[in-house]
A and B are shown apart, each in its own frame.
Chain A
Amino acid sequence: DIQMTQSPSSLSASVGDRVTITCRASQRFSGYLNWFQQKPGKAPKLLIFAASTLQSGVPSRFSGSGSGTDFTLTISSLQPEDIATYYCQQNYETPFSFGGGTKLEI
Chain B
Amino acid sequence: QVQLQQSGPGLMKPSQTLSLTCAISGDTVSSKSAAWNWVRQSPSGGLEWLGRTYYRSKWYNNYGVSVKSRLVINPDTSQNQFSLQLSSVTPEDTAVYYCARESTAGRWDYWGQGILVTVSS
- Report whether B106 and A50 are in contact in the complex, using a CB–CB cutoff of 8 Å: yes
A91 (CB) vs chain B CBs: closest residue: B106
Chain B: number of interface residues, binned into ranges:
20 to 34
Q: Is the CB of A49 within 8 A of B105?
A: yes
A95/B111 in contact, CB under 8 A: no
A67-101 interface with B by 8 A CB criterion:
85, 87, 89, 91-92, 94-98, 100-101
The answer to whether the Cβ of B45 comes within 8 Å of any Cβ in the partner chain is yes
Cβ-closest chain B residue relative to A43:
B111
* Chain A: minimal CB distance from B36 (Å): 13
Shortest CB–CB separation between residue B108 and chain A, in angstroms?
6
* Other-chain contact of B114, A34, A43, A92 (Cβ < 8 Å): A43
| Cβ–Cβ contact B112 & A43, under 8 A | yes
Interface of A is mostly: loop
A95 to chain B, nearest CB (A): 5
Residue A5 is within 8 A (CB to CB) of chain B in the complex: no
Which B residues are CB-close (under 8 A) to A101? 45-47
Enumerate 16 A-B pairs (CB-CB under 8 Å) in ascending A order. A31-B105, A43-B98, A43-B112, A43-B114, A44-B47, A49-B105, A49-B106, A50-B105, A50-B107, A85-B45, A87-B47, A91-B102, A91-B106, A92-B106, A96-B37, A97-B49
Chain B: residues with CB nearer than 8 A to chain A? Answer: 37, 45-49, 52, 62-65, 98, 100, 102, 105-109, 111-114
Since A46-B109, A89-B108 are in contact, a sample of 12 more A-B pairs with Cβ atoms closer than 8 Å, ordered by chain A residue number, is: A31-B105, A34-B106, A34-B108, A44-B111, A46-B108, A49-B107, A55-B107, A55-B109, A85-B45, A87-B47, A89-B49, A98-B48
